[in-house]
């Protein structure tokens, strides 16, 4: 078995850490820590993008990495931290399913996503293809985080982490999307956060809390 080149090993390490971070997010109940984990995830994503950019010499990936750094490592976490302070939400309530159960489901999710990625990885020509499974796992784990949380803020963090997973997936399958699209997506994410900021204040103004069980009165079929 020929050893992988060092940059690929680093990339794999990044991918593995991303997976680990997703699990930490799944179990983390302090919202402040959740946001920090998100920033860390962004940083890892940025590092991975830089590695790929350096390896393949594709200019637009440097731009994409810079975008990730500005938006996902610095911008959004700062915004979220400010929101947390202003709204005074530090802890999530008890999760919908207990932590061990969630972890077990998480493991199954990882197995599933590896299976899902197998046929695609087999076709990919990029050197980074093996990390695609991890990208899918990150997406699905963020999804799991989202459905097991009660606080709006944690759900949003999970949503952003899903977006990170998508970017990572795009990078490992195809070395990133075309620049136009990436810019558009980044813009959308930014706007989404601003909309959410407004939204959170509206929710709290109305309910004095960001707990989502207030938002469960509209039932299907009534």
Partner 1 sequence: MSTLGAITQLLEIVCALLAAPAFLGWVNQCRAWLQNKRAPSVLQPYYGLRKLFHKDVVLAENASSLFRLAPYIVFGTMVAAAAIIPSMGTGLPLSMAADGIALVGLLATARVFLSLAAMDVGTAFGTLGARREMMVGFLAEPALLMVLFVAAMISKTTSLPLIAEGLTTRALGLYPSLAFTAVAFTMVLLAENARIPVDNPATHLELTMIHEAMLLEYSGRHLAMMEWAAALKLFNYACIGFALFIPWGTSTEASGPQGLLLAVPVLFAKLAVAGGGLALIETLSAKLRVFRAPEFLATAFLLAVLGLLVHLLLGD
Partner 2 sequence: MEVLLLLGSPLLGALTLWAFGARSWAPGLNVLFSAATFAAACALTARVIASGPMVLAREQFLVDPFNVFLVTLTAFVGLTTSIFSRPYMRVEAEHGRVSPGRLRLYHSMYQLFTATMLIALTTNNLGLLWVAMEAATLSTVLLVTLYRTPASLEAGWKYFILCGVGIAQALFGTMLLYFAAERVLGAEGVTALLWTHLDAVKGQLEPTVLSLAFVFLLVGYGTKVGLAPLHNWLPDAHAEGPTPISAVLSGLLLNVAIYAVVRCKVLVEGSLRSALPSQMMMGFGLLSVVLAAFFLWRQRDIKRLFAYSSIEHMGIITFAFGMGGPVANFAALLHMTVHSLTKSAIFFAVGHAAQKAGSQLIENIRGLVTISPTIGWGLMLGSLAILGMPPFGVFASEFLILTTAMKQQPWATPLLLLALGVAFAAIFGKVQPMVFGETPMRRLPHPPALLPVFVHLALVLMLGLYVPPYLAGWYRDAARLIGGP
Binding site for partner 1 (CB under 8 A): 3-4, 6, 9-10, 12-13, 15-17, 19-20, 23, 99-100, 103, 107, 110-111, 114, 117, 130-131, 133-134
In a 10 Å sphere around its CB, with 0-12 CB exposed, 13-18 middle and 19+ buried, how is residue 40 labelled?
middle
- Specify whether the CB–CB gap between 35 and 77 falls below 8 A: yes
Is residue 12 part of the contact set for partner 2 (CB under 8 A)?
A: no
Residues in contact with 88: Cβ distance below 8 Å, sequence separation at least 6, in sequence order: none
**# residues contacting partner 2 (CB under 8 A):** 48
| Binding segment (CB under 8 A) for partner 2, from list 61-69, 73-81, 83-91, 155-163 | 155-163
Instruction: Give the nearest distance from C-beta 51 to partner 2 in angstroms.
Output: 18
The entry of partner 1, partner 2, none that residue 196 binds, CB within 5 to 8 Å by partner kind: partner 2
In a 10 Å sphere around its CB, with 0-12 CB exposed, 13-18 middle and 19+ buried, how is residue 217 labelled?
exposed
- Out of 77, 95, 133, 169, point to the residue binding partner 2 (CB under 8 A): 169
Q: What is the distance between the alpha carbons of residues 164 and 136, in angstroms, rounded to a whole number? A: 11
Token couple for 94:
């008890």
Q: What is the distance between the alpha carbons of residues 96 and 149, in angstroms, rounded to a whole number? A: 6
Nearer to partner 2, 9 or 199 (CB): 199
The entry of partner 2, partner 1, none that residue 17 binds, CB within 5 to 8 Å by partner kind: partner 1
Angle made by CA atoms 37, 24, 213, in degrees to the nearest 5: 85
Q: What are the C-alpha distances in Å from 106 to residues 89, 148, 197, 209?
A: 26, 11, 29, 29
Is residue 96 part of the contact set for partner 2 (CB under 8 A)?
A: no
Q: In the complex, which residues of this chain contact partner 2 (CB under 8 A)?
A: 116, 119-120, 123-125, 139, 143, 146, 152, 155, 159, 162-163, 166, 169-170, 173-175, 177-178, 180-181, 184-185, 187-188, 191-192, 195-196, 198-199, 202-203, 205-207, 212, 214-218, 220-222
């Amino acid at each position: 078995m020929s050893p992988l080149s060092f940059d690929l090993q680093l990339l794999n390490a990044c991918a593995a850490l991303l997976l680990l971070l997703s699990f930490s997010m799944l179990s983390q109940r302090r919202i402040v820590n959740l946001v920090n984990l998100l920033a860390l995830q962004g940083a890892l994503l940025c590092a991975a993008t830089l590695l790929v950019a350096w390896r393949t010499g594709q200019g637009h990936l440097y731009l994409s990495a810079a975008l990730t750094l500005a938006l996902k490592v610095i911008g959004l976490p700062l915004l979220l931290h400010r929101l947390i302070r202003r709204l005074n939400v530090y802890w999530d309530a008890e999760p919908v399913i207990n932590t061990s159960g969630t972890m077990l489901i998480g493991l199954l999710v990882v197995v599933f996503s590896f299976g899902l990625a197998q046929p695609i990885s087999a076709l990919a020509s990029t050197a980074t293809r093996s990390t695609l499974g991890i990208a899918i796992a990150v997406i699905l784990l963020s999804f799991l985080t989202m459905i097991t949380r009660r606080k709006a803020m944690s759900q949003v963090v999970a949503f952003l982490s899903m977006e990170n997973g998508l970017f990572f997936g795009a990078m490992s399958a195809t070395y990133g999307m075309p620049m136009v699209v990436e810019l558009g997506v980044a813009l959308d994410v930014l706007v989404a956060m601003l909309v959410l900021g407004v939204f959170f204040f509206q929710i709290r103004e109305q309910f004095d809390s960001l707990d989502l069980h207030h938002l469960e009165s509209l039932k299907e079929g009534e």
